[in-house]
Amino acid sequence: MTTMSIGETDPRPLTVDDLERMPDDGRRYELVDGRLDVSPSPMPIHARIEHRLSVHLEAQCPDGFEIFEGAGIDLNSRRTHHRIPDVSVFESERIPHRHFETPPLLAIEVVSPESVLRDSHTRKREYAEFGIESYWIVTPGPTGIGIAEFRLKGGEYQPANEAVDFDVFVTDAPFPVRLVPHWLIADGSQWKTRLGGE
């Protein structure tokens, strides 16, 4: 199997098939209009948040839904626009063998220092255009953490809900979820019993 170096130029638009030749180095390789978009390996706090969100959503998830970390989604039929949300929720009956080609019910992005613009603007626009009904942006900071939920209305995302630190975040999309953002980043194991805010 050949690999394509990050600096290598290719005159044709890249497709998802080209991503299979990328090195398995922990970075996230995505496509934007046939151009490579590379993100560094997630920092430990980012990985902790992704994991805890997935575990909590899985515990709340009714039959008919599945939770994924790092599932690739083709945002166009040419397969030249490919994104990988940190966490996503799909209907169980729509799980493909390779990449997803239909919108998830929910996409979640955990903001990293280098992804603020991408997660808050670029992905937000792309996910709305693709028809993802619900989008969460999780923003850890030096002193706390926040979650903002957006719902698709008229082709654009509208603010629906937000919670910071010890506030209780409550939503019903795509199924009822309740969580306290603080416990997504807190040290120790108390998050397992306190994340739901009960």
- Confirm whether pTM is higher than 0.95: no
DSSP symbols for 33-54: TTEEEEEPPPPHHHHHHHHHHH
Domains of the chain plus CATH, in order, are 43-194 (3.90.1570.10)
pLDDT in tens, the chain (198 residues): 233 444 455 578 999 999 989 998 989 999 999 999 998 888 999 999 999 999 999 999 999 999 999 999 999 999 999 999 999 999 998 788 778 999 999 999 999 877 777 778 899 999 999 999 999 999 999 889 999 999 999 999 999 999 999 999 999 999 999 999 999 999 999 999 999 997
Bridge partners of residue 151, in order along the sequence: 134, 158
**Structure confidence at residue 117 (pLDDT):** 72
- Give the angle subtended at the CA of 109 by the CAs of 156 and 193, to the nearest 5°: 120
Count Cβ atoms below 10 Å from residue 24 Cβ, excluding itself.
Answer: 7
- Tell me which amino acid residue 34 is: G
**Structure confidence at residue 31 (pLDDT):** 95
**Sheet-wide strand order for 73-74:** 35-39, 28-32, 82-83, 73-74
